[in-house]
């Protein structure tokens, strides 16, 4: 083995403003894994974010990605540069972020806070099964990022 680390090819497609939903007024970027129940997942995400005093439509730029899609994260696509990047079921390498992130643990790097968690489907299904481990870990991470005095 020549290299002791993984290399990622840069995707041909670059993120464009038209790929994003929401106004992004608070510099929050959320990439989430798209699935057939996307509307239901977004309603669930809205409830989670509302508890952290975040409005999905006003405060966030959101991007839906399927598991096979990769895109070059282009910061010029944002009206307000993201200060927070939250990944729900999206792997960092899908956005050309060439570093590993621990799950459910916020990481700050060069003025941006990153959070990588399971997909909304996984979190919601666990919650509906009466378990709270992933939803609880997500809530703790969101509190740490957005409600530090709570």
Q: Are strands 112-117 and 84-88 parallel, antiparallel or unpaired?
A: parallel
| Mean pLDDT over the full length of the chain | 90
Which pLDDT tens digit goes with each residue over 122-134? Answer: 999 999 999 999 9
Which pLDDT tens digit goes with each residue over 135-146? Answer: 999 999 999 999
Q: Report d(CA 82, CA 25) in Å as an integer.
A: 9
Select from 1.10.287.1260, 3.20.20.70, 3.40.470.10, 3.40.50.2300 the CATH code of 18-146. 3.40.470.10
**pLDDT for 4 beyond 70:** no
pLDDT band at 11 (very low <50, low <70, confident <90, very high): low
pTM of the model as a whole: 0.89
97: its two tokens: 């972020």
pLDDT band at 75 (very low <50, low <70, confident <90, very high): confident
Please identify which residue in the block is written with the tokens 């290299």.
3
3-state secondary structure 79-119: CCCCCEEEEECCCHHHHCCCCCCCECCCEEECCEEEEEECC
């Amino acid at each position: 083995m020549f290299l002791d680390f993984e290399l990622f090819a840069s995707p041909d497609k670059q993120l464009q403003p038209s790929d994003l939903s929401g106004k992004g007024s608070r510099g929050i970027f959320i990439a989430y894994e798209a699935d057939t129940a996307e509307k239901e997942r977004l309603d669930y995400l809205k409830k989670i974010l509302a508890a952290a005093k975040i409005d999905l439509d006003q405060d966030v730029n959101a991007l839906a990605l399927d598991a096979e899609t990769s895109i070059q994260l282009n910061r010029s696509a944002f009206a307000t540069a993201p200060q927070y990047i939250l990944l729900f079921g999206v792997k960092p390498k899908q956005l050309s972020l060439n570093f590993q992130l621990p799950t459910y643990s916020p990481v700050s790097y060069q003025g941006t806070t990153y959070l990588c968690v399971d997909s909304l489907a996984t979190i919601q299904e666990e919650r509906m099964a009466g378990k709270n481990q992933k939803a609880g870990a997500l809530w703790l991470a969101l509190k740490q990022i957005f409600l530090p005095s709570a």
